[in-house]
């Protein structure tokens, strides 16, 4: 028997793991909330944003969702708070602050 | 009707590959296995099979390409020897731990140095802990038969491990001997189509192979792999029994030759066993109760069965065609001795390193081994824990 | 006929001693024998001394060692007599076959006291008369079949014709030359002691 990735954790027995730890489903990285690693967090200042979308391709963690050609607020489940988006924004529309404040 | 013909060990493997018609064969030439990819490439060029041959730039690439092909869902084979397999080292483990049923024809040749091209088991013995199933042959017929059984073992759902089909470089790979070839149709039916459940090119399933695993997961994964090696034991015997129904030729973990009532036994692997059988027959004529245990399957290691088959013998010589530089003998010596201990045997044992780098072994050499065993068992002589056969000193 | 016949070939890299050994195994197989034909490998260099072996038997062959006490020895190049101990272990009731233009008086002292039968053949002469090129292994193969009696020579010629027909399907002139070389060698090989 083998489990889907979402049911595998550090209590899973060897009998329940897949052969060679292979994974048979796509996009399992979504289940891994790297947002927890964040020490600093970006804050989106919507009123300053001109929707140029430059921040989107720069984000290393695909944590800036885009819908109908407009960016939305950060995906804080996966944003690691690296600050690249804040550096690259030409309009000062992203500010970094301490996470968990 | 089976065909009685004659061919070399390399030709026999190539013929098996022709009958199996695998999907992919990446290979890089190295003596003494070069003829295998050479023959297969000719068969492809002549339109006899439609295997995709990948001429790679190294053995590391050959095994990597085999891994990629196998993960993609193809039946993949390759062939190599000696330092060629040494260059595959890293990826041998990847193939096994990724649970990919690759089949490799290994034509055993010593590892350097001194630089040499002849028969020795140091290449495969070095890889004994890589997670590959290892099956050895005494002659051309056996390497052919073993190769035909390899895919069935590797691809079995209880196993999913790569298999190494070994034969002695030059001694069998380049010797033309009589052989019986089985008809194409029954062979193809026996080997069957490869239908993996999961593979990278499967249309309706995404898959990741070889993910990074943190410590909390690795031990569990390795345990699962080790259990597959245990399950391979039954599968190897089941496949052998089905092969016997097809061909009438019987295979197991090992062959016992006049061993049942033997007082003195030799345990060995490969082509030397034919020579040992002639020595056994000659000694039996003289009333010496000599016998032979010829290892066919070294991985998984059939320790319990070996212990049971040998424990009645008074003297046992375990013969290694490889030096392990452990300062206490060769790998087969260590494992058979451990098996005997677990079987609570009281037999006297000696480990003999022989045939390194193609050093020839004659029937007389094997007769001398049995005679030494007699003296050892009777307490007439003491041996060092291991020694070299036919060494000038 | 002996139960097991063991033959050792001495030649130089490129002269076809290995091919001769394998051809002999091949033709012996075709007449129903159990066979083993194998070369002793080292670095392969044109002109270096090489050794090849044949075992021909009526029962399965299991031994996998070189041959130390051959029934017959073939020397494809007589210059080897000075450097290789070609008669080592050769059975006294066996025979040695040497490709040479030399006389028995010149050859016999080079055999390290071997007391068995000695056969000489000028393979170059046979080749030039039939093939126009020097392939010493073809006449040596025929002569060895005659001396060793591993099969009747007419059976041998018939089998060789069949396999050469297949091999030289598109070169009938080569086929004829080879068959002539085999026949002439059977006539030309002479026992000198």
Give which of B261, B253, B257 is closest to B306, Cα–Cα: B253
The set of chains that have 3 or more CB pairs under 8 A with A is B
- Exposure b/e, B39-48, CB count within 10 A at least 16 = b: bbbebbeeee
Residues of B in Cβ contact (< 8 Å) with A22? 98-99, 198, 207-209, 211
The beta-carbon neighbor of A14 closest among B198, B207, B224 is: B224
**How close does chain B come to C35, measured CA to CA in Å?**
5
What values do phi and psi take at B297, rounded to 5?
Answer: -105, 115
Task: Tell me the percentage of chain C whose pLDDT exceeds 90.
Answer: 84
Assembly ipTM? 0.93
C-alpha torsion A33→A35→A38→A41, nearest 10: 180
> Which residues numbered 23-62 in A keep a CB inside 8 Å of some CB on B?
23-28
Q: Which CATH number fits domain C4-191: 3.40.920.10, 3.40.30.10, 3.40.50.1110, 3.40.50.360?
A: 3.40.920.10
Best residue in B5, B33, B114, B177 to probe C by mutation, most C CBs within 10 Å? B177
- For A37-101, the fitting CATH number among 3.30.465.10, 2.40.128.20, 3.30.70.20, 3.40.50.300 is 3.30.70.20
DSSP B189: H
User: In this predicted structure, what is the pLDDT of residue A6?
Assistant: 82
C54-70 confidence digits (pLDDT tens)? 999 999 999 999 999 99
Sorted by where each begins, the domain ranges of chain A are 1-32, 37-101
How far apart are alpha carbons A76 and A84 in whole angstroms?
A: 15
Q: What's the gap in Å between the CA of B215 and the closest CA on chain A? A: 10
Structural tokens at position A83: 């600050």
Question: What pLDDT, on the 0 to 100 scale, is given for residue C1?
Answer: 41
Q: Are strands B52-55 and A66-67 parallel, antiparallel or unpaired?
A: unpaired
Asked whether residue A28 carries a pLDDT value surpassing 60, the answer given is yes
> What's the whole-number mean pLDDT along residues B347-362?
97
Lowest mean pLDDT of A32-41, A79-88, B220-229, B380-389, name the range: B380-389
Best mutation target, B7, B32, B139, B178, to test chain C (most C CBs within 10 A): B178
Residue-wise pLDDT tens digits, C13-38: 988 899 999 999 999 999 999 999 99
Mean pLDDT across C99-115: 96
| Maximal CA-CA distance, chain C | 48
Query: With an 8 Å Cβ cutoff, are C35 and B177 in contact?
Result: yes
* Phi, psi angles (nearest 5°) of residue B63: -70, -35
Could you tell me the domains of chain B? 3-247 (3.40.50.970), 254-388 (3.40.50.920)
Chain C residue with minimal CA distance to B361?
C65
For residue B360, the chain C residues in CB contact (below 8 A) are 65-66
Q: Please, which pLDDT band fits residue A2 given cuts at 50, 70 and 90?
A: low
* Residue C137 backbone phi and psi in degrees, to 5: -70, -30
Contacts with A30 (C-beta within 8 Å, 6 or more apart), sequence order? A78
């Amino acid at each position: 028997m083998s489990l889907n990735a979402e049911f595998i954790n550090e209590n899973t027995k060897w009998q329940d793991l897949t052969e060679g730890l292979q994974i048979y489903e796509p996009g399992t990285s979504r289940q891994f909330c790297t947002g927890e690693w964040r020490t600093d967090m970006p804050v989106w200042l919507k009123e300053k944003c001109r929707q140029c979308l430059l921040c989107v391709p720069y984000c290393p963690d695909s944590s800036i969702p885009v819908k109908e050609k407009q960016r939305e607020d950060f995906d804080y489940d996966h944003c690691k708070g690296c600050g690249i988006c804040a550096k690259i924004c030409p309009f000062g529309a992203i500010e970094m602050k301490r996470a968990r404040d | 009707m089976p065909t009685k013909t004659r061919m070399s060990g390399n030709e026999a493997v190539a013929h098996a590959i022709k009958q199996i018609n695998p999907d992919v064969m990446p290979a890089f030439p190295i003596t003494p296995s070069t003829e295998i990819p050479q023959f297969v490439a000719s068969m492809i060029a002549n339109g006899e099979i439609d295997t995709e041959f990948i001429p790679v730039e190294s053995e590391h690439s050959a095994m990597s390409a085999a891994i990629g092909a196998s993960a993609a869902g193809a039946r993949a084979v390759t062939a190599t020897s000696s330092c060629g397999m040494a260059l595959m080292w890293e990826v041998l483990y990847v193939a096994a731990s990724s649970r990919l049923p690759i089949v490799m024809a290994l034509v055993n040749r010593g590892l350097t140095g001194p630089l040499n091209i002849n028969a020795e088991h140091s290449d495969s013995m070095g890889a004994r802990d890589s997670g590959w199933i290892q099956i050895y042959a005494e002659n051309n017929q056996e390497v052919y038969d073993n190769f035909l059984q390899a895919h069935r073992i590797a691809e079995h759902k209880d196993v999913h491990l790569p298999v190494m089909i070994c034969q002695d470089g030059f001694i069998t790979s380049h010797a033309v001997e009589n052989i019986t070839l089985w008809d194409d149709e029954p062979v193809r039916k026996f080997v069957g189509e490869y239908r993996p459940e999961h593979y990278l090119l499967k249309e309706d399933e995404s898959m990741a192979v070889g993910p990074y695993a943190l410590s909390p997961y690795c031990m569990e994964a390795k345990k699962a792999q080790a259990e597959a090696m245990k399950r391979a034991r039954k599968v190897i015997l089941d496949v052998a029994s089905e092969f016997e129904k097809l061909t009438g030729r019987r295979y197991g973990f090992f062959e016992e030759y006049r061993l049942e009532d033997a007082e003195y036994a030799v345990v060995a692997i490969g082509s030397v066993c034919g020579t040992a059988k002639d020595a056994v027959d000659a000694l039996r004529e003289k009333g010496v109760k000599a016998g032979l245990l010829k290892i066919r399957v070294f991985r998984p290691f059939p320790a319990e069965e070996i212990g049971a088959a040998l424990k009645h013998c008074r003297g046992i010589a375990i013969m290694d065609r490889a030096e392990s530089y452990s300062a206490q003998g060769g790998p087969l010596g260590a494992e058979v001795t451990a098996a005997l201990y677990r079987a609570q045997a009281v037999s006297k044992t000696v480990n003999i390193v022989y045939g390194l780098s193609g050093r020839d072994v004659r029937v007389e050499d094997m007769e001398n081994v049995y005679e030494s065993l007699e003296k050892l068992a009777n307490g007439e002589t003491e041996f060092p824990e291991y020694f070299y056969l036919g060494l000038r000193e | 006929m002996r139960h097991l016949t063991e033959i050792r070939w001495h030649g130089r890299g490129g002269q076809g001693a290995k091919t001769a050994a394998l051809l002999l195994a091949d033709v012996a197989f075709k007449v129903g024998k159990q066979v083993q034909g194998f070369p002793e490998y080292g670095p392969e260099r044109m002109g270096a001394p090489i050794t090849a072996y044949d075992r021909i038997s009526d029962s399965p062959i299991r031994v996998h060692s070189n041959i130390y006490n051959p029934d017959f020895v073939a020397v494809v190049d007589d210059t080897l007599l000075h450097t290789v101990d070609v008669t080592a272990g050769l059975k006294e009731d066996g025979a040695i076959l040497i490709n040479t233009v030399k006389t028995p008086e010149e050859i016999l002292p080079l055999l390290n006291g071997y007391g068995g039968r000695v056969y000489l053949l000028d393979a170059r002469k046979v080749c030039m008369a039939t093939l126009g090129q020097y392939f010493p292994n073809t006449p040596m193969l025929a002569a060895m079949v005659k001396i060793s009696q591993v099969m009747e020579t007419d059976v041998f010629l018939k089998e060789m014709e069949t396999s050469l027909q297949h091999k030289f399907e598109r070169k009938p002139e080569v086929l004829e030359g080879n068959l002539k070389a085999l026949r002439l060698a059977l006539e030309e090989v002479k026992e000198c002691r």
